[in-house]
Amino acid sequence: MNLDDKKTINAWCSYDWANSVYNLIVTTAIFPIYYTNATEAAFGGSLVEFFGLQIENSVLYSYAISLSFLVAVLLYPVLSGIADYRGAKKSYMRFFTYLGSVACMGLFFFDGSNIELGILLAMTASIGYASSVVFYNAFLPEIASESMMDKVSARGFSMGYIGSVLLLIVSLVLVQMPETFGFDGAGSATKFVFLIVGLWWFGFAHIAFAKLKDQPTKNKITSAVLSSGFRELQKVFKNLKQNIHSIRFLSSFFFYSMGVQSVMLLAPLFAAQEIGMESVEMILVILIIQLVAIAGAYLFSGISSKKGNKTSIIIAVVIWLSICVIAYLIHDKTAFYGLAALLGLVMGGIQSISRSTYSKLIPEGTRDTASYFSFYDVTEKLATVLGTFTYGYILSLTGTMRNSILFMTIFFGIGLVTLITTQLQGPTKQTTND
């Protein structure tokens, strides 16, 4: 594949269009609301029974998301090592896309009473989504030159937000006017949305699959290859360690990701339980976040091009930290709408710039980009595991999500201090013989 080829870049970005609808509509917007309402209706309150264990539904969901990312983290080293060894990034990207999208469609059968099925399908879809993104991200340094990475990364996220907003609007119409479309209620319409999202993800992903190319090595998988992924991570760490600022950036990324991912994944539950927002109001909040996020991705790309990646990320982290403090203090729905807009502004920006910043840290000439992005995604997903677990644990101890979200400021603070001591200005690439 040629660097900066427009058709290849557009095809790569189209995968964001394909899979982001799951991340928004299922993970963030509709499923948490549907899950809460359905389980409370089935069990007569927030206390549910899961494989014989009685637990709060919101705590269970937080732990389930945390566990799904932990499973993904354990899979990354093995899968990325095999993908690089066999030159098969696209093949694994396709496999996890199919796994995640089919599990998403399976949520159509979740009605609240079969909570075990719902949680297991949600976890499987989450694993499929998180794992496919590893191989998707690994194509970025293969299709874009260093000078184009920020823009290409931002374009991908923006396409994802646009596609998500379009399908979210359709979903909102279906849920709000179910009888008009032949459904017997909002619950049936919501379950149909899960089916649509899975089909959207499955179908549009093939645009990227048609253009992105594997480079098969015909190497056979042996027992040694299965463990090679962990050795690859060690090699990646060794190469990155040659530049102390690469390690400092990843350390900062780890801590602020603990806050970012936790707030993004659990914001709907916070709004429902602490602000008292209804399902329709929450979907409107998510819609605001996504629309603003489109502009936010390009805004922080622009800041990065003028002031550097470090300044761009510092600004985003400071805003994220402020969001946690404000969320702890506010009780008014109107104020929460404003906070949602602020969250949207930095949501796309920090994800886009973090991805492109890391791409610039990968040494030039590297062939095993899947292993490098496995290291990146292991860092992010471990942060997600610890962040969401901490969020749920603080909730179980104190009984309020306000304390959970305020605790996230500690993670943002550590990430900010670490980032301030990191040098990211100027070219960060170095040559390698990998």
Q: Which of 76, 77, 417, 73 is nearest to 248 (CA)?
A: 417
Reduce the DSSP state of residue 47 to 3 states and report it. Answer: strand
* Under 8 Å between Cβ of 13 and 152: yes
The answer, yes or no, to whether residue 426 has pLDDT greater than 60, is: no
pLDDT in tens, 266-302: 777 788 888 888 777 877 787 788 788 878 878 888 8
Range with top average pLDDT, 36-40, 103-107, 222-226 = 103-107
pLDDT in tens, 324-361: 999 999 998 999 999 988 988 898 788 888 888 888 87
| Gap between the Cα atoms of 170 and 430, Å rounded | 47
145-159, 329-343, 390-404: the lowest-pLDDT one: 145-159
* Under 8 Å between Cβ of 206 and 93: no
- 431: confidence class by pLDDT, cuts 50, 70, 90: very low
What is the percentage of the chain residues whose pLDDT exceeds 90? 35
Residue with tokens 């399902």: 279
Per the DSSP assignment, residues forming a β-bridge with 361 are: none
Q: For 6-211+233-420, give the CATH class.
A: mainly alpha
| Gap between the Cα atoms of 21 and 67, Å rounded | 22
Domain ranges of the chain: 6-211+233-420
Phi, psi of 425 (to 5 degrees): -70, 145
In residues, how long is the chain?
434
Four-CA torsion 170, 176, 182, 184, nearest 10 degrees: 140
* Torsional class of 44: left (φ above 0), alpha (ψ -120 to 50), beta (otherwise): left
Helix, strand, coil share of the chain (percent; to 5): 80, 0, 15
* Under 8 Å between Cβ of 228 and 85: yes
| Gap between the Cα atoms of 262 and 65, Å rounded | 10
